[in-house]
Each structure stands twice: as C-alpha cells, then as structure tokens.
Structure 1
Amino acid sequence: MAIHRWRFIGIFILLAILGGAAMVMWNFVGLLLISFAMAYIIYPLAGYFSGGDRKAGRKYLTACLSSVLLVALPVIYILIYSLNVILQWLIENFGMIQSGSFTEGLKSGLDSAGFGVVSERLGSELGRLISSATDAVWSQVIQPTWFLETSISLALFFVATFYFLYEGPRLMELIRNHIPSREKFLHELMSTIDKIFYGLFIGHLLTSVIIAGLAAIGFWAILRPPLLTLGFLVGMMFVVSFLPLIGPWLMYVPMGLWYMILLPGGTMSGILILIYGALMLTIVPDFYIRPKLVRRDADIHPLLILLGFFGGPFVMGFKGIIIGPLVLGLAQAIVMLYIEKRHMLEDLFSRV
C-alpha cells in the first residue's frame, strides 16, 4: 500500500513539474518554432563558414555566431528603419486620418492620376484600410511596455536560433543513436522528414532569389532609381523575402504609400508599386513559384503547400506560416510512407 502511495506521489510531482514547465514555455512556443525554422534555414550557412566541421568547439561556435549575426543585423536594421518611417508618418498624418481629410486627399490624388469614376470607391477602400492599420499600430506603439516586450522577444528569437543551430547536429545524432537499427520504418521516417525540411529550405531560398529578381525589374521599370539604390533595394528585398514571417510586403507597401501620399506627383508610381508588389512579389511567388519549387525537392503536393501557407495563420497565428506547410507536408509523408512501407510499421507495432 505504501509503495503505491509513494508511486502516486511521485507521478503527481512529475506531472506538476511538467505542467509548470509547459505553462512557462507556452507563451514562447511560437517563438521557439520560428527560431527552429530559422536555424534550419541558415544551417547550411553555418556549415559553409565552419568548412563542414560541425563538431562542438570554437570553430563551429564562431560559425554559428557569424551566421546568426549575418541574419540578425539586416533584420534589426530593417525593423528599426521601417518603424522609424511608420512612426514619423503616423505622427504627421494621424490627425488627418482620424478627421477623414486624408481619405479625401487620397481620392483627389487618384482622380488626378486618371482613375476617374473608380477613384471614389478605390480611395474610400484604401482610406478605410489605412485607417484600420493606423489604429492597430498606434494602439500597440503607445503601450509603455511595447518596446521592451518587442526587444526581449527579438533577443530571445536570435538566442534560441543560435542554440538550435549550435546544438542541432548533436541533437540529431542523439535521436539517431537511440533508434535501433532494426526499426527501419523510423529510419525511413527520419530520412523523409529531413528531405521535407531540405525541400522547404531550397524552395524558400530559390523563391527569395526570384522575388529579388522580379523586384529589380519592377523597381527599375517604375522608379528608374540609380543603380546603387536599386542594388540596395533588391538586396533588402531578398532579405525580407528569405526570413520567416517577414515578406516582400514589408518593403513595397511602405514604398508605395510613401510615393503615393508623401511625394508630390508620385501617386501613379506609388499605385504601380503596390499593384506590382501584390501581384508579382506576393501572389505569383506564393501561389505558383513556391509550390512548384518545393514540390520538386520535397515532393509535397502544391495544394497542401497552399493550404498550409494560408490556412496555418488562421489556426496558429503568424507562426502558422511556417508550421502549416511543414505539418501538412509531414502528414502527407507519413501517409505515403505507411502506404509504401506498411510492412515495416506493422513489424514495429508487433514488437511494442
């Protein structure tokens, strides 16, 4: 009786500790998942810096730090620059947006740009969209703890990315060493998961390169900037396209609004930037280019990629952009692996 009582107490203490750990970690689950995705994306870069040597030590430690910094510095710069532009614009135009004169000015600008009867409806919709976005951003920014919380989350993101990157090879080795050699199904599953991760990474990388190329063509045709400025814009476009949860919209939306609203005579250029960005930098890459490239390397059906990419955020928030395609891809892989290797799985369960 005493043995059962102590066993119950031990199980209760274990569950209490695990439950407490889960409560502490719950708010960081999304951040950790995104950090894991980022670590996998820059994993080849760390291998390149270390010369292929992934053993724990100063060489691989330096390679991981360099890889994380190479990503962190552009991200921090882009976020600070974008936040500065947005806040400056909000301070200058918040009163006009709230009073409705901003929308009227937008309608007049569209009408003078030659949109005719469409300018009334288009100006109203754009004004309503900008007003909603302005209220959402302003309500976040005016909170006293917003800057502190954002800074802590960003720091935790890069620290977690570094540890996933540095400890990743040993974690994978530990998992493989604890899977018995006779468990062929589990080895096949690990190989399939690795193939899916690799396919998602290659597809994501190539899509980012294509988006940068399309941005170069569009910006040159619409704005005709100096080559140095064009090169900077294209480089930043590649960075924001490559990083999880950050997309091309972070560049072309502020650029379009800047030209359309703040620069005299720039209404048409701003509208063309927004239209070109939405069509050629977001819709075409996400609906056609990315699914095609990912299917080539990861063998995931394009419909599942689209459902995961667009359905994931509805279920899991912004982190669903990363987790959605991955979960559906793994589900497809497990189902197909079961169909093709059913005898291995049946043999595995027969020994459990």
Structure 2
Amino acid sequence: MREKLEQRSFLFTLLLVSLLFGLVLKPFWGAIFWACAITVIFSPLQHRILGRIGHKPNRAALLTLLVCVVIVVLPVLFIATSFIQEGLALYQRIDQGEVSPGKLLTQVRNAFPLLPDLLGQLGINLDSAKLSETALAGSKVLAEKALTAGQSTFGFVVDVALMLYLAFFLLRDGNQLTELMVRALPLGDDRERMLFAKFSEVTRATVKGNILVAMAQGALGGFIFWVLGIPGPLLWGVVMAFLSLIPAIGAALVWLPVAIYLFATGEWLSGAVLVAFGALVIGLADNVLRPLLVGRDTKLPDYLVLFSTLGGISLMGVNGFVIGPLVAALFLVFWDIFTREFNGR
C-alpha cells in the first residue's frame, strides 16, 4: 500500500514539475521548435560533414549552422528588412494622400456595379469611407510600430540567437538525446522510434516543402507585378509568399484583387495577363509542388494537409503551418498503432 502511494505521489510530482518546466520555457517555445526543425532538416548535411572531417561533432555542428545561417537566416533578414521598408513607404503614401483606397474602391464599384451586392451577400461591406479610415489607422499603427522597431528587432535577434545556440547542441547531441527520450518514455521503444521517425519525416517535408512553395509563389508573384509596373512588387511578393502557406487559395488573395482593379481601371491587357499568369503559373506552383513536396513525403492526403495547415495557423500563428500537419500525421500514426496492436482484426 505504501509503495503504491509513493509511486503515485512520485508520478504526480513528476507531472507537476514537467508542467512547471513547460511554463518556464513557454516564452521560448518558438525558438525551441525552430531549433528542432533546423536540426531535423540539416542533420543529413551534418552526417555528411562528419563523414568528410572525421569524428569531430563540435566542428561538424558549427559548420552545419554556418551553412544554415548563410542559406536561410541571412536571406530571411534581408527580405524582412526590404519588406518593412517598402511597407512603410506604401503606408506613408496612404497617410499623405498620394494613394487613396477610397478612390480605388470607387473605380472598382463603378466598373463592376454588381460586385458590392455580391460581396454584401457574403457579409463584406464595400464602404469607401470605412476603407479609407482603416487604411489610415493601419498607417498610424505601422508608424507607431516603427518607433519601437529597435526593441522588436532586439527581441527577434535574441530569439534567433537562442534558436541557433540550441540547434548547435541538438545537432551535436541529437542521437544521444533521442535515445534518452526513448528510454524515458513509457510507450514502448519500437513505438517511440516510429513516432520520432515520423516527427522527423513530417517536419522535414512540411518545412522544406512549404518554404519552397512559398518562395516559388512569392518570386513569381513579385516578378509579374514588376513586369506589369505595379508598385511595391517586393512587398506584394513577400505577402504572397506568406499567404501561400495557406494551401490552394493563399497567393490568389493578393493577385486576384489587383487583377480586378486593373480591369476596373481599363487596363484589360494587364489584368488578363495577371489572371492568366496567376491561375496557370502561380497556381500551378501550388498544385504541383505542394503535393509532391508535402503530401507525398508526409503521406497525408491533400485535404488533410489543407485542414491541418489552416487549423494550425489559426491556433498557433505562423508556426502552425508545420505543427498542424505534424499533429495530423502523429494522429494517424497513433491510430495505426492502435489498430494493429490493440484491435488485431
């Protein structure tokens, strides 16, 4: 009796301490998650480097991180800086009246009289005054954010530094940590190895696949905007890249309204070119690359990738585009194990 009480008390205390430890690490969950993702993605490169330089784990982990910084971190910082600069310039033009959202909307309404009624049935009210007020409010908010950009930049740099610091140790000691977790978790060693393998497979496929699709769609969208002379092609290219994390409809949320505006202002050729390019080229990048890079490697149906991605983003923000499909894949693995081992029929 006393032994059972001690065991239950220990398990309760273990659970409580683990929850408290999770709360302590809560501010750094983003950095921890992306450090794990970097480790999973670049571990094949690290093993290849180890094969070249011999058993020198510290040097191999450091070289792998340097490659990651050069091909991932620095380009992201450059694009983010350019995006902020173009975004500020655009909002300053709105704030100074050089660009009038209300005027643009009036042109669209005059060219397509049925559009307001159609959107009204969907619960979308095209009010020029409200749109102008919203745009001005957005410009003011962005200006206020710009004043505190130094603090935000410092926090971002700290998160990146923590991510790279942790990724170094995960790259160096990842195999030992995995074996430690296999011994510690009471799920059965074979099941745990299967789950860790699935975690690595889905994380690598989701991050690499979605980022490649986002880069392709953002680059194509920015290119066609630049060709057609639309202001801020880099800004809108980055926006399309972010929105392309939403399967099927992401980039169209940008290029389709712009195409409608071009038609409304009488630029029929530019509008037709943008629609054709968006539907055939940008859309093709999503319809072809995403199933090949994400669905095939994660072994998830396309509809499950869509719903898990949307659900993950709505719950967890930008990290959800990886965590959502990961949870879906682990859900299927757990039920597969249950079906085979506990319900043999």
Calculate the TM-score normalised by the size of structure 2: 0.65
Q: How does 1:70-89 map to 2 (within 5 A)?
A: 70-89=71-90
Cα distance, 1:80–1:213 mapped onto 2, change above 3 Å: closer
Q: Residue 194 of structure 1 is aligned with which of 192, 197, 207?
A: 197
Please report how far the alpha carbon of residue 68 of structure 1 lies from its aligned counterpart in structure 2 after TM superposition.
2.2
SS at match of 1:300: coil
Cα distance, 1:34–1:94 mapped onto 2, change above 3 Å: farther
Aligned residue for 1:325?
A: 325
Please report how far the alpha carbon of residue 83 of structure 1 lies from its aligned counterpart in structure 2 after TM superposition.
0.6
Matching residue's letter, 1:107? T
Q: Quote the Cα distance in structure 2 between the aligned partners of 1:304 and 1:48.
A: 34
Q: Quote the Cα distance in structure 2 between the aligned partners of 1:317 and 1:171.
A: 27
Cα distance, 1:213–1:93 mapped onto 2, change above 3 Å: closer
SS at match of 2:57: coil
Q: Is the 8 A contact 1:46 1:64 kept in 2?
A: no
Q: Is the 8 A contact 1:50 1:63 kept in 2?
A: no
Residue 339 (structure 2) pairs with residue 339 (structure 1): yes
Aligned residue for 1:176?
A: 179
Residue 113 (structure 2) pairs with residue 117 (structure 1): yes
Aligned residue for 1:62?
A: 63
Q: Is the 8 A contact 1:46 1:67 kept in 2?
A: no
Q: How does 1:70-149 map to 2 (within 5 A)?
A: 70-96=71-97, 101-108=100-107, 115-117=111-113, 125=126, 132=134, 135-136=137-138, 138-139=140-141, 141-143=143-145, 146-149=148-151
Please report how far the alpha carbon of residue 300 of structure 1 lies from its aligned counterpart in structure 2 after TM superposition.
2.6
Please report how far the alpha carbon of residue 340 of structure 1 lies from its aligned counterpart in structure 2 after TM superposition.
2.2
Residue 154 (structure 2) pairs with residue 152 (structure 1): yes
Q: Quote the Cα distance in structure 2 between the aligned partners of 1:157 and 1:251.
A: 32
Q: Is the 8 A contact 1:46 1:60 kept in 2?
A: yes
Residue 32 (structure 2) pairs with residue 29 (structure 1): no
Greater mean alpha carbon deviation, residues 60-69 or residues 184-193: 184-193
Please report how far the alpha carbon of residue 166 of structure 1 lies from its aligned counterpart in structure 2 after TM superposition.
1.8
Matching residue's letter, 1:117? P
Greater mean alpha carbon deviation, residues 304-313 or residues 46-55: 46-55
Q: CA RMSD in A?
A: 5.3
Q: How does 1:297-308 map to 2 (within 5 A)?
A: 297-308=297-308
Q: Is the 8 A contact 1:207 1:290 kept in 2?
A: yes
Q: Note the alpha carbon deviations across 1:245-274, whole angstroms, 9 max, x for none.
A: 9xx9799959x97xx79xx99797479658
The gaps in structure 1 that reach 5 residues or longer are 1-9, 226-231, 345-352
Please report how far the alpha carbon of residue 160 of structure 1 lies from its aligned counterpart in structure 2 after TM superposition.
3.1
SS at match of 2:77: helix
Q: Quote the Cα distance in structure 2 between the aligned partners of 1:13 and 1:184.
A: 20
Q: Is the 8 A contact 1:107 1:119 kept in 2?
A: no
Please report how far the alpha carbon of residue 336 of structure 1 lies from its aligned counterpart in structure 2 after TM superposition.
0.8
Cα distance, 1:152–1:175 mapped onto 2, change above 3 Å: same
Please report how far the alpha carbon of residue 332 of structure 1 lies from its aligned counterpart in structure 2 after TM superposition.
1.2
SS at match of 1:58: helix
Q: Is the 8 A contact 2:217 2:241 kept in 1?
A: no
Q: Is the 8 A contact 1:203 1:290 kept in 2?
A: no
Calculate the TM-score normalised by the size of structure 1: 0.64
Please report how far the alpha carbon of residue 75 of structure 1 lies from its aligned counterpart in structure 2 after TM superposition.
0.8
Greater mean alpha carbon deviation, residues 275-284 or residues 34-43: 275-284
Identical positions, percent: 19
Q: Quote the Cα distance in structure 2 between the aligned partners of 1:193 and 1:22.
A: 20
Matching residue's letter, 1:186? D
Matching residue's letter, 1:330? L
Q: Is the 8 A contact 2:207 2:322 kept in 1?
A: no
Q: Note the alpha carbon deviations across 1:297-325, whole angstroms, 9 max, x for none.
A: 23234333222100112223333222111
Matching residue's letter, 1:152? F
Q: Is the 8 A contact 1:189 1:334 kept in 2?
A: no
Q: Quote the Cα distance in structure 1 between the aligned partners of 2:245 and 2:167.
A: 16
Matching residue's letter, 2:101? F
Cα distance, 1:11–1:305 mapped onto 2, change above 3 Å: closer
Please report how far the alpha carbon of residue 195 of structure 1 lies from its aligned counterpart in structure 2 after TM superposition.
3.6
Q: Is the 8 A contact 1:68 1:158 kept in 2?
A: no
Matching residue's letter, 1:89? L
Q: Quote the Cα distance in structure 2 between the aligned partners of 1:59 and 1:35.
A: 16
The gaps in structure 2 that reach 5 residues or longer are 1-9
Matching residue's letter, 2:103? E
Matching residue's letter, 2:157? A
Q: How does 1:174-253 map to 2 (within 5 A)?
A: 174-177=177-180, 179=182, 185-202=188-205, 204-206=207-209, 208-209=211-212, 224=227, 253=254
Q: Quote the Cα distance in structure 1 between the aligned partners of 2:51 and 2:267.
A: 49
Q: How does 1:306-317 map to 2 (within 5 A)?
A: 306-317=306-317
